[in-house]
Amino acid sequence: MQALDMPEFSPGSVWLVGAGPGDPGLLSLLGLHALQHADVVVYDALVDVRVLKLARTGALLEYAGKRGGRPSPRQRDISLRLVELARDGRRVLRLKGGDPFVFGRGGEEALALAGAGIPFRVVPGITSGIGGLAYAGIPVTHRDTNQSVTFVTGHGVTGDVPDGLDWEGIARGAPTVVFYMALKHLERIAGLLVAAGRAAGTPAAIVIRASTPEQKVLETTLGTAARDAAAAGLEPPALFVVGEVVRLRSGLDWLGAAEGRLLDADPLGVARHGPAESA
């Protein structure tokens, strides 16, 4: 680490760090450096305990997560707390699951710090919608299936499916759509996508606690996702991914392969049916 000449974590500053989806090995070196130097770690519910264990002995760990997936009335309080700790001269590590700027309110906290004149640094993390899906053997892009991808939150400020989403745009836009925070409203979300023109038979998957020892993956279709999720009793945190890329999982489930499951060398059926239509 020393050879890397890491930036100094100065007292009175805040580092806004993404902890990745779970597996501590996915933390960045800057994230680890921050954990080794922070005086206070203000962490969210989604931060894996194995990551928290990397904090310097003696660092204060402060929980600032939201409970029950409700919109947080405490967001302002969290920002104020960060400002207060920094003004106290601490090295403040604000640790968030995934990437702090992906559906993580990192922007809001950073703006509050900027407004209060507190120096801050942002350390991106591996977002669950990319890295978590990779742990399920699902690439978010694949040349034969999609050249674009859409990330959507299934949860707005009110806790409901966000208003103002352009469902036709989402359905017809990118072939791969990745939903965060979508389990609670899965039935509505899937219904809206189908009503907007996405075929009910489109492959889909639900990935629970990606990259943790409790990871679970349910393969389904857009039309049957809500029923299958309920039948399996799935609980958040969950990603919902819709698109042909899900089929690749049968060939790319490297975690399953490590546990002895067989991989399919031709999951898209290219050898059987020829390549997908290409431009």
Q: Is 237 in the site for ligand SAH (CB under 6 A)?
A: yes
Cα–Cα distance measured from residue 123 to residue 92, given in angstroms and rounded to the nearest whole number: 13
Q: Is 42 in the site for ligand SAH (CB under 6 A)?
A: no
DSSP 130: I
**Cβ 180 to ligand SAH shortest distance, Å:** 4
**Cβ 152 to ligand SAH shortest distance, Å:** 10
Q: Catalytic one among 66, 144, 184, 264?
A: 66
Q: Which residue, 90 or 176, has its beta carbon nearer to ligand SAH?
A: 176
Bridge partners, 62 (sequence order): 42
Which residues does 139 contact at the CB level (< 8 Å), separation at least 6?
133, 245, 248, 252
Active site residue 44: yes
Cα–Cα distance measured from residue 279 to residue 22, given in angstroms and rounded to the nearest whole number: 38
Say how many residues touch ligand SAH, by CB under 6 A: 24
Q: Is 31 in the site for ligand SAH (CB under 6 A)?
A: no
Q: Is 162 in the site for ligand SAH (CB under 6 A)?
A: no
**Which range, of 164-172, 190-198, 233-241, 256-264, touches ligand SAH by CB under 6 A?**
233-241
Long-range contacts of 3-9 (CB under 8 A, 24+ apart): 4/29, 6/30, 6/33, 7/121, 9/33, 9/34, 9/37, 9/38, 9/91, 9/93
At 65, list the tokens: 């997560």
Q: Which residues are catalytic?
A: 44, 66, 181
Residues in touch with ligand SAH (CB under 6 A):
21-22, 46, 96-99, 102-104, 127-128, 132, 180-181, 207, 209-212, 236-239
